[in-house]
Amino acid sequence: MKSEREQQLIEQAYAEIEKYQDLVNRDWYRLRYHLMPPVGLMNDPNGLIDWNGTYHVFYQWMPFCTSHGAKFWGHYTSPDLVHWQAAPIALAPSEWYDKNGCYSGSAVDHEGKLVLFYTGNVKDEQGNRQTYQCLAASEDGFHFTKKGVVITLPDGYTAHFRDPKVWRKDDQWYMIVGAQSESGDGKAVLFRSTDLFHWEHLGPIAGGNSNWLGPFGYMWECPDVFPLDGQDVLIVCPQGLKPDGMRYQNVYQSGYFVGRLDYERNEFLHGPFEELDRGFEFYAPQTMLDRHGRRILIGWMGVPDQDEDRQPTVRHRWVHALTLPRELRLVDGKLRQTPVRELKQLRKQKVAYRNVAMVNELRSWPGIEGDAIELRLDNIELFGSMLEIHLRHAARLVYNGDEGVLTLERKSFVNGLTEKRQCRLPRLRSLHLFLDTSSLELFVNDGEETFTARFFPHPDDRTILFGTHGHLHMDIEKWEL
C-alpha cells in the first residue's frame, strides 16, 4: 500500500502528463524508438531487470518541470527490449526519508518479489543533505510498497552517498554505493547482507587515492559491479575529472575498470579507467543480466549540468531520453558495446549498395537518407586521408586515416557553433549508426568505440552525404525504423 501522500503526488504527476500531452507530442524532436519522459525531465535509468518474462526499466523523473528536483521513479516494461509500454509510476518522494527525491538505485528478484533499492534524499531548510538507502517491494512488478530505510550513512563519508546496485553471489547479497569520502575522494563502497534488510558495511573497494589510483574525482556516482567473460567489471561515473586531450570532455564522465573483486579482502584489483562512450550525451549507465545470459546496458542520453536547460525540447516541456539497450562483451580487456539483436525487428524498407567506390568526391546515394533510420557501413577500405559523413547538415562524422582519429562534430544547441568529440582509432572497419529524429548512437568497429549524442537538425532535412579525400570502398545498408 502506498501512503496517502505518495498517492497524492502520483495523481499530481498524472495530471501534469495530461495537461501537457498535446504540447509534448507536437515537438518535432520527439524520438520514435527510444524511451523518453511523458513530460518533464528524465535522467538515470534505474532498476534494470528481466523479471518473470518481462524487461523492466525504471528511470529518474521530474514530472513538474524540465530541471532537476524531487525525483520520482517512472517505469517502462517490454517483452523484447524493443516494444515498450508505460507502467504505473513506481515511486514518489513522499516520506520523511525520501521527501526531496527518490534517487537512483536497482532491482532484484527475492522470493518471487520484485525488490527496489533506491537512495532517499532529504534536505533541511538550509540545504544540508541527509541520505538513506531504502527498499520498496512488489508482488506483481507494478505496484510497490515502501519498506523504509535499510542503510544510514556510515562514518567516513559525506552525505553524497547514493545509487545502490544490489546483486547476489552464492548465499549472500551485496550492495555497491557511490560515495564521497570525508577527504573529498570518490569511492565505491561495498555492503553485505543475508536478508536485504540488515547490511554490514565492508568499506570502499575502489576509489580515488586508493590502490595505485591517485586523485580521481570528488564523487563516484552510479557504480555497477558484474562478472563478464571471466573477469569483473566496475562501472562508475566520476565527477571532477579534468579534460585530458581527447578524454573527459564532458562535464562528468562514465567509464569502467576491469579487474577482480576479492570478496574476502573486500577490494577491487583493477586496471586503468576507460571511458564507455565518446559522445556528447551519455551518463549514469546501468546493466542487467537477462534471460539469454547477456549483460545488457542502458544509459542516460544526457549529462548533468551540461546546458540541459538550453536543449530545444524544453519549450515543449520535456528533456532527455535513454539509450538503446546494448550488449556488453569483454574483448582483449576492453568493453565492447553492440545494439541488442532484437532491434532488427524495427527494420523496414531496406536499401543496400555493395562495393561502393568513391574517389575525391562528396555525394549522396538514392534512398540513403532519413530522420529515423539504421545505417551500416561495412568492409570499409580507405586509401586516402579522410572519410566524412554529413548527417542532416547538423552533425558530421570524420575519420582521418593519416592521424588515426575519429571525430563527431555537431552544431551546438547553445550557440550554433561547431563542437566536437574524438577518439583515437588506428583503423576504421565499420560504422553502425542509429539516427532517431534528434539523437544518434554510433557503434564503431562492432562496438570497439561508441558515440552517443543529441542533435537538432531542421525537421525537413533528411540528407545524408558521403565524402572522401582519396579512394574509398565500402558496403552500405540502410533501413527505415
Going by their DSSP bridges, the two strands 172-181 and 40-51 should be labelled as: unpaired
Distance (Å) of CA 370 to CA 219, 374, 375, 457: 41, 9, 10, 12
DSSP single-letter state for residue 301: S
Cα–Cα nearest to 69, from 78, 56, 60: 60
Cα–Cα nearest to 318, from 333, 336, 302: 302
Q: Within 10 Å of residue 79's Cβ, how many Cβ atoms? A: 12
- Checking 68-73 for CB contacts under 8 A at 24+ apart, the result is 68/41, 68/43, 68/304, 69/101, 70/99, 70/100, 70/101, 70/121, 71/43, 71/101, 71/102, 71/103, 71/121, 72/9, 72/10, 72/13, 72/102, 73/46, 73/47, 73/102, 73/116, 73/118
44 in active site: yes
Distance (Å) of CA 168 to CA 144, 223, 227, 323: 21, 16, 12, 26
Neighbour-count burial for 207-233, b at 16+ CB within 10 Å, e otherwise: bbebeebeebbbbbbbbbbbebeeebb
Interatomic CA distance for residues 77 and 155, integer angstroms: 38
Catalytic residue among 44, 98, 163, 436: 44
Q: Which residues are catalytic?
A: 44
